[in-house]
Amino acid sequence: MVKDFYVPCLKAGVRYDRAVGYFTSGSLAVAAEGIEAFARADGKIRLIASPHLNAEDVEQINRGYEIRRIADEAISRELDHAALLSPGELDRLGQLARLIVNGSLDIKIALMRSKRGAGLYHEKIGIIADRQGNCVAFTGSLNETASAFLDNFESIQVFCSWKDGDARRTEAIQRDFEELWLGKTPSLEVVDFPDAARRKLIEIGVQRGYVQPPAHRGAEGWPTLPESLMLREYQKEAIEAWLAATGRGIFQMATGTGKTITALAGADQLGRQLRAAGSPLVTVIVVPLLGLADQWTGELRRFGVTPIQCRDAWHGWEPLLSDALVALGSGEPGHMAIVVTNATFTTDRFQQILAKVTFPILLIADEVHNLGSVKMQNCLPGNAVFRLGLSATPERHLDPEGSRALTRFFGDVLIELGIKEAIELRALTPYRYYPVLVPLNEEESELYVDLTKKIGHLYARASSGVDVEDQLGQLLRRRANVLGHAEGKIPALRQVLTQRRGEPYQLIYCAEGGRPTQGGTTGVRQLDEAIALSGAELGIPTHPYTANEDARTRREILGDFSTGHGIRVLASMRCLDEGVDLPEARIAYMLASSSNPRQFIQRRGRVLRRGTLEKKRADIIDFVAVPPGRDDLYELERKLFRRELERSVEFARYAENQGYALSCLRELREHYDLMDL
């Protein structure tokens, strides 16, 4: 199998994708026979395998222990057995370690928990492709183990893309692997190769002379734009403008238009200049959420960089970060990348380390608007020579001073790519907008009028110099909750959902908290009502996506949703706003009434991303609560309701069905004399 199939195919190929039941250190060594020629051709390998669990591992998983931790230990334990291999096999493992360091080999681990406890991911498929796009796809009994390669009686079926009878099977195997790699295969959790095991493999590479010791290498590579990525013109223009502004500025780009890729491509260009000048670079990427930290880490690896993630407990990252900074200054000028969450970024430990960095720093702030608070401003490093802020909405809502502070630190907005331009450039999906007007019921109207009167009294006091900001803020939030939680939205949702019950990839954005009452207490949660309606009543596979789910559960939920065959509806309050990549989502129900531009733009952006599947357009159904329209409160009501209608008109303006959407809103706009919107 190795001599007659693997080695000759790998020598001819430049891409090798392999999913196997389980692997051992011995199998890696055997498979590496054809790897050298593969590596010289700049080949890329993606390997997915299942950990080799022993009886004790299985028992611990069945007793409820964390399955990922057990898998990490099993992979690391397997590499401990590498000491038993021959010198030749160890050399081949060293070659693989070099591929990992160079970014040519990426390994992921597939985990499965069946209803009876731990299950084994036991699929065996592979694809080897050449530069012309020809590929050989195979499936069969062969595991990625030394005994399977050399001793066992094994068989595989092989399909060639250039043969008419094989093309369909080849495409199917390729599609299966892509879904598996992206974590979209139902019942499986696909996670990154454990850091501890990765370090052990690299140690073997160092010992065998294939990998330079960290103290001499100094960094995990400079960011390099992959050949497979083609930048759009607006991305190139943004990078040129940033470099011309001496590496400072803000990219205001609509959600889904490739801010991450643009930033890393800019870092690539900056790195080329610094390398020519013999200067090192420390890239610090600040993100608000753990999910975004994982996404940035994945993109950095595509660019040939393995970052240090600074998150959670300090002892998990501080020693590694300190050692890496020391190593960076002990050899040739190099590059290192740090991905840090906002929460860790503001800690004393991280700030003390950052303040001591004497190398040039590139600070990239994702969702930069989050850094405009007073606390975050005080943590922005003055020693960052290069600065780049990213956001679809860098302007902070109701905080002009925070917005000005961001501009003072990062620089001017260098590119403004809005929804209209992004859709015209085919960077985003066109969409249709359907406003659904929902009148308040009698109890809600009474509460709305009462709050409006109180707000009017406070405005009057404020105009005479009395400080009522806190009280006014509370009343405005309560009043917004009345609109957001309007009881009539659930029956209206029922009508629309019933018509779309067979469609996948649907999102429901619910108002936060529970329904407000006259007594100031909160009633039933809109989220619970929406889930009961969609799931229990209409029988649509529905799942909440909230702060109550842990990271592993969230990955499982998103993976299931992305297939289109399992969960069809995700219901959330705020957790789908930022840091969640759902390119296949195409229908959004806006139950929540948000006048915060950042929030409703982020939510719209969730369904406008271009997916891997055919996605011609997205649909946004917006449930707009209509105030009671009291003549005695007309002017105040007009002033307050203006912000609600601004969102609706903004959505309608760039929709394919703009005329229809605006006609639905015309009567309201005329009544409140808001045709200027």
Give domain status of residue 334, yes or no.
Answer: yes
Residue 77: alpha-carbon gap to chain centroid = 31
- Kindly report the CA angle at 655 between 671 and 645, in degrees rounded to 5? 30
Q: Is the same domain home to 223 and 200?
A: no
pLDDT > 70? residue 355: yes
Q: What pLDDT, on the 0 to 100 scale, is given for residue 223?
A: 94
Q: Is the same domain home to 249 and 369?
A: yes
Share of the chain above pLDDT 90, in %: 39
Domain containing 60 equals 2-211
Extended beta strands in 291-440, E state: 308-310, 335-341, 361-366, 386-391, 413-417, 431-439
Q: What pLDDT, on the 0 to 100 scale, is given for residue 21?
A: 62
Q: Is the same domain home to 277 and 237?
A: yes
Least confident of 205-209, 228-232, 513-517, 575-579: 575-579
pLDDT > 90? residue 384: yes
Confidence of residue 34 (pLDDT cuts 50, 70, 90): low
Give domain status of residue 161, yes or no.
Answer: yes
Phi-psi region of 311 (alpha: psi -120 to 50; beta: other; left: phi over 0): beta
Least confident of 398-407, 442-451, 522-531, 626-635: 626-635
Least confident of 224-238, 361-375, 507-521: 507-521
Its pTM surpasses 0.75: no
Number of neighbouring beta carbons within 10 Å of residue 445: 17
Mean pLDDT across the chain: 84
Q: Is the same domain home to 168 and 300?
A: no
Q: What pLDDT, on the 0 to 100 scale, is given for residue 65?
A: 58
Give domain status of residue 53, yes or no.
Answer: yes
Which range is most confident: 29-38, 566-575, 648-657?
648-657
Q: Is the same domain home to 299 and 435?
A: no
Give the residue, 596 or 367, on which the prediction is more confident. 367
Final residue before a domain boundary, out of 406, 424, 442: 424
Confidence of residue 599 (pLDDT cuts 50, 70, 90): confident
pLDDT > 70? residue 612: no
Dist. CA 475–CA 244, nearest whole Å:
47
Q: Is the same domain home to 415 and 437?
A: no
Q: Is the same domain home to 349 and 473?
A: no
Give domain status of residue 31, yes or no.
Answer: yes
Domain of 617, CATH number, reads: 3.40.50.300
Is residue 569 classed exposed, middle or buried when 0-12, 13-18 and 19+ CB atoms within 10 A define those classes? Answer: buried
List the structure tokens of 546: 């909230």
Q: Is the same domain home to 384 and 485?
A: no
Final residue before a domain boundary, out of 211, 244, 275: 211
Q: Is the same domain home to 404 and 438?
A: no
Number of neighbouring beta carbons within 10 Å of residue 615: 18
Give the residue, 61 or 339, on which the prediction is more confident. 339
Give domain status of residue 63, yes or no.
Answer: yes
pLDDT > 80? residue 293: yes
Count of domains in the chain?
3
Q: Is the same domain home to 33 and 71?
A: yes
Q: Is the same domain home to 171 and 230?
A: no
Q: What pLDDT, on the 0 to 100 scale, is given for residue 81?
A: 66
Give domain status of residue 144, yes or no.
Answer: yes
pLDDT > 60? residue 220: no
Confidence of residue 216 (pLDDT cuts 50, 70, 90): very low
Dist. CA 89–CA 30, nearest whole Å:
7
Final residue before a domain boundary, out of 376, 391, 424: 424
Domain of 177, CATH number, reads: 3.30.870.10
The predicted-structure confidence for 53-78, as pLDDT tens digits, reads as follows 666 666 666 665 566 677 777 777 76
Q: Is the same domain home to 128 and 157?
A: yes
Dist. CA 192–CA 105, nearest whole Å:
12
Give domain status of residue 676, yes or no.
Answer: no
List the structure tokens of 109: 């681990």
Q: What pLDDT, on the 0 to 100 scale, is given for residue 634?
A: 85
Give domain status of residue 566, yes or no.
Answer: yes
